[in-house]
Amino acid sequence: MKIGIDEVGRGAWAGPVVVGAVGLADLTLDRLLTECRVPELRDSKKYSRQQRERIFDWCENRLIWAVGVAEAEEIDDSGLSAAIRSAAGRAITDLRAKGVPISRITADAGLFHPYESEIPTERLVRGDEYIQEISLASIMAKVWRDRLMIAHNRAYPAYGFERHVGYGTAAHRAAIREYGLTPLHRHLFLRRFSADTLS
């Protein structure tokens, strides 16, 4: 089976980076588009949150999919590129553990994984715009990560994670300035900002 992989959360200030892995199985694209009321599949960032949620809920029990996660601490310790590679490996490992026979992987350009020597892999510039499996991997990973960050808002209500899901916004910057960094924040990443940026 061919699967697509894509990552989300690369540029966030807080929370994990998440890699989605998707195989279409017997799912027909026309049925997905019709029932989810979207004209085409594309990168998750091109949809509204409501559209992404609708696609995720419809696909959750119809797709073959998994996510791999690298938390902020791993990103700090290993660096972002290595953490993304590890997260991709975890997503692929999860599918293999479920018995999914992976014959080929398509990935957005720049996304690497630990199974390179075993599984033929094709990387495509802007692949999430026109390869169904990559587009769906992006959507499934994005909604999964957003829901996780919204859940974290209960523990850290002052930071507004339910709104920005860990990305850099003026409100997020103001919260860091007032309350400091949480264990969810990428400390090494944020130390690259000048004092003026967060003050």
Coil/strand/helix, residue 151: helix
High-pLDDT (> 90) share of the chain, %: 70
Confidence tier at 193 by pLDDT (50, 70, 90)? low
CA atoms within 13 A on the CB side of 168: 10
Coil/strand/helix, residue 157: helix
Residue position matching structure tokens 């195989």: 23
Residue position matching structure tokens 């974290």: 152
High-pLDDT (> 70) share of the chain, %: 91
Q: Based on C-alpha coordinates, what's the Rg of the chain?
A: 17
Task: Please answer whether residues 63 and 24 qualify as being in contact, where contact means their C-beta atoms are separated by less than 8 angstroms.
Answer: yes
pLDDT of residue 46: 77
What domains can be seen in the chain, in order of their start residue? Answer: 2-152 (3.30.420.10)
Task: Please answer whether residues 97 and 68 qualify as being in contact, where contact means their C-beta atoms are separated by less than 8 angstroms.
Answer: no
**pLDDT digits 0-9 by tens, 58-89:** 889 888 999 999 999 999 999 999 999 999 99
Q: How many CB atoms lie within 10 A of CB 108?
A: 22
Amino acid at 157: P
**pLDDT digits 0-9 by tens, 92-130:** 999 999 999 999 999 988 999 999 999 999 999 988 888
Task: Please answer whether residues 150 and 162 qualify as being in contact, where contact means their C-beta atoms are separated by less than 8 angstroms.
Answer: yes
pTM to 2 decimal places: 0.92
Distance CA 86, CA 71 (A): 11
